Amino acid sequence: MLLIHCPYCGDRPEIEFSYGGQAHLARPASPATLSDEEWAAYLYLRKNPRGLHAERWRHLRGCGRFFNALRDTTNDRFAGTYKVGEAPP
């Protein structure tokens, strides 16, 4: 079980969290102006890196807050977690 550092609550076990997919995807301000291809890219195209991945987690069974994390997908080590709106460490 991973040990995840919630930027609001501290270290907590993985079962308190839910995974939220790739981070730093902003919903387009006016989707109507996007082509079908651009919209499909926003909807479906995601990174799948071998190594550090910026992703969203939510401390669902804790403070309930979303935050971002940098996790190495090869060994599940977290390089750090940070609040929404902050730059990756």
Partner 1 sequence: MNAHRTASGGRVDRGQKLRFTFDGAPFEGLAGDTLASALLANGVHLVARSFKYHRPRGILTAGAEEPNALVTVRRDAARVTPNLRATQVELYEGLAAESQNRWPSLAFDLGRANDFLSPLFPAGFYYKTFMWPRAAWAALYEPLIRRAAGLGRTPTEPDPDGYAQCYAHCDVLVVGAGPAGIAASVAAAECGARVVLCDEQAEAGGSLLDGTAATIDGETADAWRAWCLSELAGNPRVRLLPRTTAFGYFPHNNIGLVERITDHLAQVAPGAVRERLWQLRAREVVLATGAIEQPLVFPGNDRPGIMLASAAHTYLHRYGVRAGTRAAIVTATDNAYRTALDLRAAGVEISAIVDQRPGSPMADAARQAGIEVLCGATVAGTRGKLRVSGVELEGRTLACDLVLMSGGWAPSVHLFSQSRGRLAWSDAARAFVPSASAERERSAGACRGVYGLAEALADGAAAGVAAATACGHAGKAPHMAVTGDEHAAHAAPAGASPRANPGKKAFVDFQNDVTARDLLLAAQEGFRSIEHVKRYTTVGMATDQGKTSNLNALGIVAGRTGKQIPEVGHTTFRMPYTPVSFGSLAGLARGDLFDPLRTTPMHEAAVARGAVFEDVGQWRRARYFPQGSEDMDAAVARECRAVRSACGVFDASTLGKIAVIGPDAAEFLNRLYVNDFSGLAPGRARYGILLREDGFIYDDGVIARLAPGRFHVTTTTGGAARVLAMMEDYRQTEWNDLEVWLTSVTEQWAVIAVQGPLAREVIERVAAGIDLAPVALPHMAVAEGSVAGVPALVFRVSFTGELGYEINVPARHGRAAWDAVCEAGGSLGITPYGTETMHVLRAEKGYIIVGQDTDGTATPDDAGLSWAIGRKKPDFVGKRSIERATMKDPARKQLIGLRTQDPAVVLEEGAQLVDAPGLKPPMKPIGHVSSSYRSAALGYSIALAMVAGGRARIGQTLYVPMPAGDIAVTVTSPVFHDPEGARLHG
Q: How much helix, strand and coil, in percent to the nearest 5, is found in the chain?
A: 15, 35, 45
The residue from 16, 54, 65, 82 that contacts partner 1 (CB under 8 A) is 65
Which residues have C-beta within 8 Å of that of residue 21, sequence separation ≥ 6?
46, 55, 56
Rule CB under 8 A: say whether 41 interacts with partner 1. no
Closest distance of CB 55 from partner 1, Å: 12
Rule CB under 8 A: say whether 43 interacts with partner 1. yes
Token code pair at residue 20: 């939220």
Q: Which residues of this protein are in contact with partner 1, per CB under 8 A? A: 1-3, 13, 18, 20, 26-27, 30-32, 34, 36, 39, 43, 56, 58, 60, 64-66, 75-76, 84-85
